[in-house]
Amino acid sequence: MAGQRVEVDGGIMEGGGQILRVSTALSCLLGLPLRVQKIRAGRSTPGLRPQHLSGLEMIRDLCDGQLEGAEIGSTEIMFTPEKIKGGVHTADTKTAGSVCLLMQVSMPCVLFAASPSELRLKGGTNAEMAPQIDYTAMVFKPIVEKFGFQFNCDIKMRGYYPKGGGEVIVRMSPVRQLNPINLTDRGSVTKIYGRAFVAGVLPFKVAKDMAAAAVRCIRKEIRDLYVNIQPVQEPKDQAFGNGNGIIIIAETSTGCLFAGSSLGKRGVNADKVGIEAAEMLLANLRHGGAVDEYLQDQLIIFMALACGVSRIKTGPVTLHTQTAIHFAEQLAKAKFSVKKSEDEDDASKDTYIIECQGIGMTNPYL
């Protein structure tokens, strides 16, 4: 099984945790021994951080693999995967490290396990520099399930920066193969909804102000749709620590989903948080793509593994997406092409079609 080690340069392109997530997940799935060097080389705190470490350890445990060099601050790891097994797996960042990023690295792997899995992920559910759990549940989930699998995402406890303390349980059954997807027809926006939350000591008025400011901002551009953003006070027993934020989702006639989100920080007024999320959503609706900028890179690994040709229409291709494509080509030998959309409607916009000939990965245990 263990052939030549695949060498990955962790310092190129996105140059951060994402390279680690994509390359270790593919290594695990394909049974490729891996060495990653120059991990987060260009970052202000180079090397592995606690959240990267917990992701690596989780992948190791998922497949009874061997992991060398995995400690905080390390810039080089060696990983030797074995068989992927189902069952209960726990990962705890011990910080506000994102549970959504832990899910990103582990989900493709357990799809090709021998039996159903339960992933217990602990850390931040609504954290900076990562998708919020609401995005994962409301946008990522319904779209990624188009590849032909279902998962259940149970938010036990919400956790915020800097304490973390959140917990999410993900349950899923393995599949034999993934179906390709075609997300190229955006349709027209039919509804806009969302939630503005406060947790801990923050007053409920903050949630109402975020929601109201976001609605006002969206109304300036989209006048004919009712915008339903619910202000929410997270129950004490379901949130650890203090936090506030907002996520707004636009749904289209063809089932496409787009989002804008923002988290409150100390000293930033509530209106500003609401407006930031609204402007992000509006920007994602302007480019004519069928997926938003955060979904782009999360779909690449599934497209690479699927059986057949997948196509997604996007706005400007992000560095994260380019990075995911690079490693999916290097490690999985999937074939991608990125071309400017030739649709007349897209002529004036920065719109692209990402096409992938998937490798047709089959589950050896089913």
Residues in the annotated binding site: 104, 294-298
The three-point CA angle 252-255-259 to 5° equals 65
DSSP designation for 98: B
- The two tokens of residue 193 are 């909804």
Q: How far apart are CA 299 and CA 309, in angstroms?
A: 13
**Whose CA is closest to 205, among 239, 236, 233?**
233
Helix (H) or strand (E) holding 107: helix 99-110
Q: How far apart are CA 222 and CA 199, in angstroms?
A: 30
The number of C-alpha atoms within 13 Å of 102 and in the hemisphere containing its C-beta is 34
**Residue burial 3-12, b: 16+ Cβ < 10 Å; e: rest:** eeebebebbe
Q: Which amino acid is at 343?
A: D
The number of C-alpha atoms within 13 Å of 88 and in the hemisphere containing its C-beta is 4
Could you say which of 52, 89, 287, 320 is catalytic? 320
Residue positions in the annotated binding site for ATP?
Answer: 104, 294-298
The two beta strands, 87-92 and 117-123, are: parallel
326 annotated active-site = no
Q: How far apart are CA 197 and CA 204, in angstroms?
A: 8
Q: Which residues are designated catalytic?
A: 320
